[in-house]
Structure 1
Amino acid sequence: MTSTPAPPALSRRLQAVLHRRPALRLTGLLTPALVWLVLLYIAPLALLLATAFFSTNSFTGRIEYEFSTDNVVDVLTTPEYLLTALRTVGVAVGVTLLCVVLALPLAAFMALVARPRSRPVLVALVLTPLWASYLVKIYAWRMLLVPEGGLLGSLSPGYGWIAVIVTLTYLWLPYMVLPVYAGISSMRGSFLEATADLGARPWTSFRTVMLPLLAPSIAAGSVFTFSLSLGDYITVQTVGGTHQMLGNMVYSTFSVDLPFAAAVAILPLIVMAAYLLTIRRTGALSRL
């Protein structure tokens, strides 16, 4: 059976009500997206955090649904786990800083030096690595960084933290280049011309004019590079040898002790919350 259309009078009445009440109209537009977000993202995350306050029976391996703070207290007070968290943050900061150093000249060339016709091509080339498989790119870097017989020869750093930072920088660099490129493209050229007319050197113009204006764009890109590096574990397993990050701890324990793995997952959440609160004043969150 085909559904009968709503009477014209009822349709006009509904349109009039929505027109008089913008808040109701906005609620109707946002409700499906909010329901999707709550059911598929916030609810699973809340369940994961709630699991951290349970325990696992050492004999049966089953989860005991009795409230306990032992796992959370253990994770937050054990020096070994805190050292792993500090090591993970150090890798994420190193990757972010290296992405900034590489993205600034590349984005500046794309936005200020390259011809307008070639800029879309350069943007596509920056995005091209994202189209390849994540695992393929990691194993390609493994071949480059292998200690003996690698394609880099004697220049290879081998497996370790340098290899992890280099590989993660390659993986997440496009996420830094694009916001910086958008920031430079939206920047008025008269700012740089005015500094040049006043006798400022290029480095002075970059340091006093361009860099402060690009701070929100850099901060927006750092949200991606920092968070993606913070939660990575496959790269460390592939090119980092036996070193561990928080993601490796979660991966190695979730199948045998899910509540403890959930407690470990609280650490990167705390770090990311602190990081987002730190950069909120730069206006970066409004650019995401």
Structure 2
Amino acid sequence: MTSDAAAPPHQRAGVPVPRETPARRLSVLLSRAPRVRLGLLLTAPLFWLGLVYIAALAALLVTAFWTVDSFTGTVSIEWNLDNIVTVLTGAVYQAVTLRTVGVAILVTIIDIVIALPIAFYMAKVASPRMQRVLVILVLMPLWASYLVKAYAWRSVLSEGGLIDWMVTPFGGNTPGYGLHATVITLAYLWLPYVIMPIYAGLERVPDSLLEASGDLGAKTWRTLRSVVLPLLWPAIIAGSIFSFSLSLGDYITVNIVGGASQMLGNLVYTNVGAANNLPLAAAIALIPIAIMIVYLGLVRRTGALENL
């Protein structure tokens, strides 16, 4: 008979030995295999993303190679490249593509120029309490509806609006609607998406590097150019991806404040709705997708994505 001295400690203390159940064995296995545990956690959301988003998007883009019956208006599954050729060779689509890319680039540049000083003040100048306040202020516009903000800018830019009221005493005129109004509104809408990545990137820049640069005699602009910007470049790229891609596919803002201006999103919306030409709309939708693939490829070659 085994004595108490020879028994395991948990048995001597009267602690019951846990039963070896399948659930317990699985728990032990998962605790020892973090990759398996991560895979199981991501399986459901990745399956849902692939089924609902990627598969649906692929099914939509496949229709770009179909046609529409000119008599009945129904989609006919006849594989051809007519829609692709029309989009690539049509002067209207080329002009709208250049306009859309130009607006997206301009919005991105404006947002980066505005975001840099705001993010720098938040990360390196403001006190911890003020940082929290500023983060809330930056994120607060995201709590409001997209349409509310777009229509608010429509009111501001319209005749008799706030800007008109401010410039009329000085002999100025309201800017009205058009591409400039689209750029202003989009820059406002996507600004938080640019500020936050740059702010996060600046927080990772050690203050000791800035102090060392100043101790070595570097001026403020030299420190920003030679020390801060190289370390901040991945964060700037991340912000530009948000603003550029969101501007490239937007169509609601152009409808609200763009006047008679047309962008790729408007053409897709028009062909899906009024024209009921889904294959042509899908072919037009391939343009911003191709542009983003090229843009992400160029960004990847710079190495910025690996440093995010």
Q: TM-score, normalised by structure 1?
A: 0.91
Q: Which residue of the partner structure matches residue 169 of structure 2?
A: none
In 2, the alpha carbon distance for the partners of 1:21 and 1:193 equals 43
Return the offset for 1:20: 6.9
How many residues align structurally?
281
1:61-115 CA-partner distances (Å, limit 9, x unpaired): 1110121211112112222212211110100000000000000011111111111
1:33 and 1:281 mapped to 2: Cα distance?
Answer: 29
Deviates more, 1:91-100 or 1:158-167: 158-167
Matches within 5 A, 1:106-145: 106-145=118-157
1:273 aligns with 2:293: yes
Further displaced range: 156-165 or 40-49: 156-165
Match of 1:251 among 269, 289, 294: 269
**Aligned CA distance change for structure 1 residues 271 and 23 (closer, same or farther; 3 Å):** same
1:58-97 mapped onto 2 (5 Å cutoff): 58-97=70-109
Name whichever of 23-32 and 60-69 sits farther off.
23-32
Counterpart position of 1:150:
161
Amino acid at match of 1:149: G
Alignment of 1:206-285 (within 5 A): 206-255=224-273, 256-285=276-305
Counterpart in 2 of 1:32? Answer: 44
Residue 174 in 1 paired to residue 192 in 2?
yes
- Quick one: which amino acid aligns to residue 215 of structure 2? D
Identity of aligned residues (%): 56
Calculate the TM-score normalised by the size of structure 2. 0.86
| Residue number in structure 2 paired with 1:4 | none
How far did 1:170 drift? 0.5
Cα separation, 2, equivalents of 1:123 and 1:226: 22
Distance in 2, matches of 1:156 and 1:286, equals 45
* Alignment deviations for residues 38-70 of structure 1 (CA, whole Å, 9 cap, x no partner): 111110011011111111111111110121211
The code of the aligned residue for 2:45 comes to: A
Q: Deviations over 1:123-146 (max 9, x none)?
A: 000011111111111111112112
Structure 2: gaps spanning 5 or more residues: 1-18, 165-171
Displacement of 1:281 after TM fit?
A: 3.8
Does the C-alpha gap of structure 1 residues 110 and 17 become closer, same or farther in structure 2, counting only changes over 3 Å?
closer
Q: Is the 8 A contact 1:216 1:282 kept in 2?
A: no
What's the offset of the Cα at 1:34? Answer: 1.8
Q: CA deviation at 1:271?
A: 0.5
The structural deviation recorded for 1:17 is 5.5
Higher-Rg member (1/2): 2
For 1:124, the aligned partner's letter is: I
What's the RMSD between the two structures over aligned residues? 1.9
The one-character-per-residue Cα deviations of 1:232-267 (angstroms, maximum 9, x if unpaired) are: 111111111111000000000113101110010000
Q: Which amino acid aligns with 1:101?
A: V
Distance (whole Å) between structure 2 residues aligned to residue 227 and residue 123 of structure 1: 23
